[in-house]
Structure 1
Amino acid sequence: MSTAVVLTLVMAGCNAQDPEKPPAQSPSASAPAGLGTYYNQKIDWSDCGGGFQCATADVPVDYTKPADRQLKLSLIRLPAQDPSRRIGSLFTNPGGPGGSGVEFIRSTGRAFGADLRSRFDIIGFDPRGVGKSDPVRCMDGPQLDRFFATDASPDDQSEIDKVSAESRTYADNCKAKAPDRLPYVGTLNAARDMDVLRAALGDQKMTYYGASYGTYLGSFYAEQFPQNVRALVLDGAVDPKESSTQTLVEQSKGFETALRAFVADCVKLPDCPLGTDPTAALAKIAALQKKADQKPLTNNRDSRPVTETLVTMGIALALYLKQLWPTLRQALTQAIQNGDGTFLLALADQMVEREQNGTYSNQTDANMAVNCVDKPSPPDVATYKKSVDEAAKASPHFGPFVVWGGLPCVYWPAKTKQQPKPITAKGSAPILVIGTLRDPATPYKWAQSLAAQLDSGVLLSLDGDGHTAYLQGNSCIIQATDQYLVTAKPPKDGTLCR
């Protein structure tokens, strides 16, 4: 899920003598063969309101045939407030995959530290297939409503057949509506696009902040272009060496850890609808899920029944940000006491970027398209179910929902031979990896693993809750991150912020 979706719920010259600036030379001097036109293109910015400027940039659809088709990437920037001390561009990605980098900067660009806003152009871009960058569109609103209402915790073969049928329909729709895009939307190409943008915007080296999936994108960038790394922050790390299904299994464990943290906090409060005992509280949530499976909850937003899947999605969304825990307590109170799933449905809709009029952004389609082409999937449902069973044991509240959610990849028309492997980015400048101890969506062990894989990895940790760390407001994390991005000097490896 895109970090931007959750965060929005809460919230020209240069100095050649500046030692923090990369060496002055042509950023496109070493453009790869056949790509000079892209690396040397001029980006024409225009005002797009609120102090922001917008533009587009051309990249090849297929980097092995750069002279063939092109696509346009949508860009936004918040210009540096102190042009006389400007270091360069700070590229960003909010996660997903499928999160709009343009909307992320429009909504949260001013939440970056004062030093960063003063000395960098804060850059957002929609990766290929996302937002306004030749978006992948597979499913319309009613089709996605049906997909998300499908029982993603099937209890018997009949229900497995139903979730399999919906997953196959999803893949078939993508094959019919976006066949020429699907093979090219993967992270490998998106990382190459980033290097084109770096050069086109005049940066000799890459300075980057990536959250959640943005860490995966940043890792792929560093692996392909280690010599071009100035400073990379990878916040809420994804482990690139895990398989597609193991990634989902581990993610479900992260949600279970986060739920236990929420429950431990809730049972101490007078408005907690789960009682005073943590074990009994977890059982009450499981009972609510089972109740919604047998008879969906009602809601006063529209005619949709609030199924077990939607209940679970609503709970999961609220675990992304600790500031949403009071909302989750209220939503659970309504659901448990009155059978009213209105608040949980609203949270679920926010997770998948569904508007109240029934339309969706392309986040879900892009998320599926990128994930399915990035790593191979099991060959059939029977093999896939082994991972579901593993997740159900490790994460009883979330395991099946998380893992079955990736089933369309089994039927995906664009296959990949790209195998997951460790990323070392040998020869790069120091790379800062940030992990939050009780992160629901990117478990802390992934940050530990990625920092260890990278030859120059430095681990910064937050003893906290919620998804990613930098934009959560912790002063220790903010100070360490801002100083690193400005000076390219990381904090001490293993630093723990509280």
Structure 2
Amino acid sequence: MIVLAAAALVVSGCTTTITGTPIVGVTEQLGPKGPVPAGLDRYYGQALVWRDCRAMAHDDESKGAFATKGVECALLSVPLDYTKPDGRAITIGVLRQRASGEKVGSLMINPGGPGASGMSAAVYIAGKAKKTALVQRFDIIGFDPRGVGVSEPRIECLDDAEMDAERVAPSLDTVPEVEADNKEFAEKCAQRSGGAEVLANVGTRDVVRDMDVLRSALGEEKLDYLGYSYGTRIGTAYAEAFPANVRSMILDGAVDPNQDPVQQVIGQVKGFEQALDAYFAQCAKCEVKTKARLEELLKPLEDAPLKVDDRALSLSDATTGIAAALYNDEYWPILTQALKELTQGKGDTLMLLADAYLGRDDEGEYTNLMAALTAIRCVDEPRITDRAQLESTSREIVEATKGTFMADTEPQLPALDTCAFWPVPNTSEPHQPKVAGIPTLVVISTTGDPATPYAAGVNLAKSLNARLITYKATQHTAFLDGSSCVDNAGVDYLVELKLPTQDLTC
């Protein structure tokens, strides 16, 4: 049963407490707005208490973002399990920067991951968009998906010390060793995240339902959405679940919704290889000019991690740091510095790059990004538990990626991965989206994207019957990242619903 309800507005002062600090907040009730699924009236019509964000900060990234002038934060209540709307409720962290001019709506943002903080990302993206009509015409809304960042319960797997130890642990060379390690990791995730019921409900299936609750609580009839990387999967799933509730969407750095995980792995390995080749092609004056020289420098790290202050740079960390720098050609000068240091027996910059990618701050504390990434992936994608299938897929990956940098430094073993030991089944799987009735959306795909290859964006645009913007560059995602051609087309679309020309190339 669908109930259509009119919105009410209530604004009042109240006092609440977060982390022991009394904060005066403003209660705002704008919903319910739009269709309300049966049994969810109290969620769709809930009031949000907006307050100073700083008391919600929990790591270096959020401390910096949440101190930004003009942002306010709230906690959204949603069911842990949407099949049990009268059961346990959980909270979703929400951040807002209000429109500076005449408001079109609320632009909801997800930066990907999965597991990245949308609250912190919204502040960063609003800063990049400050000279555009986006910040004038939209409330910029960031949310931490369930299990992530401010949202509770948080997904937790390894503590800080265990994360550090895992990064320098010797490589496991046998299938039984790898599988025992993966099984132990899965068990810790279940124990430390609140049990199987929490892990069963952290996937994209549930995140898009949270987004619809948030849309209503914000007082919006329709959703405006900007999704990067894995955020494109969220956007696609929302459009499929709530096609009539969509006003506009930009999906940038696309995940192909119809591609199986094996092909995703192969595509990503080849994407990073393409980016590494592009890096070396412009590196005539670099200290390290070839992949062969790079592999020569990295090989000793297999047996002897490089001392960096009171820590050690492992082969895994070095590879992670290099991959992090390949996400955008703006980072290539940092990679050049890092590889020059490596020729001198130093690993400081590679360690900094790896720490940034893995969510470790200067105090040795980690965000829960990597834990959330694993937990979400394990319920978003079908797992492989059949050993014959595992042998086949392992051979397929090895054959398809032979000779690439990633394959050479991280050889594939035919071992069951963490998801094979996950205590709950997957709730999503790759499929052709069924999105009849959605408006025309916009997909952006970059020709040299290492993490989400260009073809994935082409396929997503075709699946959604969306307009495709092609950006010729070597970087992961493009909107609000320096191309006036991409940015102008995207802003015009979001603000005025003016679609870019068919097959626009920038």
Shorter-chain TM-score range: 0.7 to 0.9
Give me the whole-angstrom Cα distance separating, in 2, the residues matched to 1:445 and 1:149: 35
Matched position secondary structure for 1:30:
strand
What corresponds to 2:114 in structure 1? 97
Contact 2:199 2:424 in 1 (8 A): yes
Contact 2:96 2:142 in 1 (8 A): yes
Residue in structure 1 matching 2:320, options 289, 313, 316: 313
Contact 2:204 2:428 in 1 (8 A): no
AA at the equivalent of 1:282? K
What corresponds to 1:42 in structure 2? 47
Residue in structure 2 matching 1:330, options 307, 327, 337: 337
What corresponds to 1:114 in structure 2? 132
What corresponds to 2:365 in structure 1? 359
Query: If the length of structure 1 is used for normalisation, what is the TM-score?
Result: 0.87
What corresponds to 1:453 in structure 2? 463
Matched position secondary structure for 1:434:
strand
Provide the alpha-carbon RMSD of the alignment.
2.2
Structure 1 residues 310 and 384: alpha-carbon distance in aligned structure 2, compared to 1, 3 A threshold: farther
Residue in structure 2 matching 1:415, options 401, 425, 447: 425
Structure 1 residues 264 and 476: alpha-carbon distance in aligned structure 2, compared to 1, 3 A threshold: same
Structure 1 residues 348 and 29: alpha-carbon distance in aligned structure 2, compared to 1, 3 A threshold: closer
Structure 1 residues 391 and 132: alpha-carbon distance in aligned structure 2, compared to 1, 3 A threshold: same
Q: Does 1:62 align with 2:85?
A: no
Contact 1:373 1:416 in 2 (8 A): yes
Decide which structure has greater strand share. Answer: 2
Residue in structure 2 matching 1:373, options 365, 379, 400: 379
Contact 2:458 2:468 in 1 (8 A): yes
Task: Give the drift of 1:166.
Answer: 2.4
Task: Give the drift of 1:385.
Answer: 5.5
Question: Percent identity of the aligned residues?
Answer: 39
Task: Give the drift of 1:150.
Answer: 4.4
Task: Give the drift of 1:388.
Answer: 4.3
Give me the whole-angstrom Cα distance separating, in 1, the residues matched to 2:392 and 2:314: 24
Alignment of 1:220-299 (within 5 A): 220-266=237-283, 268=284, 270=285, 272-275=286-289, 281-299=290-308
Matched position secondary structure for 1:240:
coil
Q: Does 1:166 align with 2:181?
A: yes
Matched position secondary structure for 1:367:
helix
Matched position secondary structure for 1:470:
coil
Task: Give the drift of 1:47.
Answer: 3.5
Higher mean C-alpha displacement, 222-231 vs 139-148: 139-148
Task: Give the drift of 1:398.
Answer: 1.3
What corresponds to 1:433 in structure 2? 443
Give me the whole-angstrom Cα distance separating, in 2, the residues matched to 1:402 and 1:207: 42
What corresponds to 1:190 in structure 2? 207
Contact 1:212 1:238 in 2 (8 A): yes
What corresponds to 2:473 in structure 1? 464
Structure 1 residues 131 and 371: alpha-carbon distance in aligned structure 2, compared to 1, 3 A threshold: same
Query: If the length of structure 2 is used for normalisation, what is the TM-score?
Result: 0.85
Structure 1 residues 470 and 402: alpha-carbon distance in aligned structure 2, compared to 1, 3 A threshold: farther
Give me the whole-angstrom Cα distance separating, in 1, the residues matched to 2:168 and 2:391: 20
AA at the equivalent of 1:362? N
Task: Give the drift of 1:35.
Answer: 1.0
Structure 1 residues 46 and 241: alpha-carbon distance in aligned structure 2, compared to 1, 3 A threshold: same
Matched position secondary structure for 1:320:
coil
Q: Deviations over 1:77-126 (max 9, x none)?
A: 110011xx210100000110100111112333221252000000000000
Higher mean C-alpha displacement, 104-113 vs 397-406: 397-406
Contact 2:262 2:397 in 1 (8 A): no
Structure 1 residues 402 and 344: alpha-carbon distance in aligned structure 2, compared to 1, 3 A threshold: farther
Unmatched segments (≥5 aa) in structure 1: 1-12, 14-24, 276-280
Contact 2:442 2:467 in 1 (8 A): yes
Unmatched segments (≥5 aa) in structure 2: 1-8, 10-29, 54-66
Structure 1 moving runs of 4+ over 6 Å: 402-406
Give me the whole-angstrom Cα distance separating, in 2, the residues matched to 1:292 and 1:35: 54
What corresponds to 2:24 in structure 1? none
Structure 1 residues 26 and 71: alpha-carbon distance in aligned structure 2, compared to 1, 3 A threshold: closer
Matched position secondary structure for 1:438:
coil
Q: Deviations over 1:229-269 (max 9, x none)?
A: 11100010001112233322221221111111111111x3x
Matched position secondary structure for 2:405:
coil
Higher mean C-alpha displacement, 28-37 vs 390-399: 390-399
Contact 1:211 1:235 in 2 (8 A): yes
Give me the whole-angstrom Cα distance separating, in 1, the residues matched to 2:387 and 2:316: 19
Q: Does 1:144 align with 2:171?
A: no
AA at the equivalent of 1:121? D
Matched position secondary structure for 1:44:
strand
Residue in structure 2 matching 1:340, options 341, 346, 361: 346
What corresponds to 2:64 in structure 1? none
Give me the whole-angstrom Cα distance separating, in 1, the residues matched to 2:398 and 2:110: 31
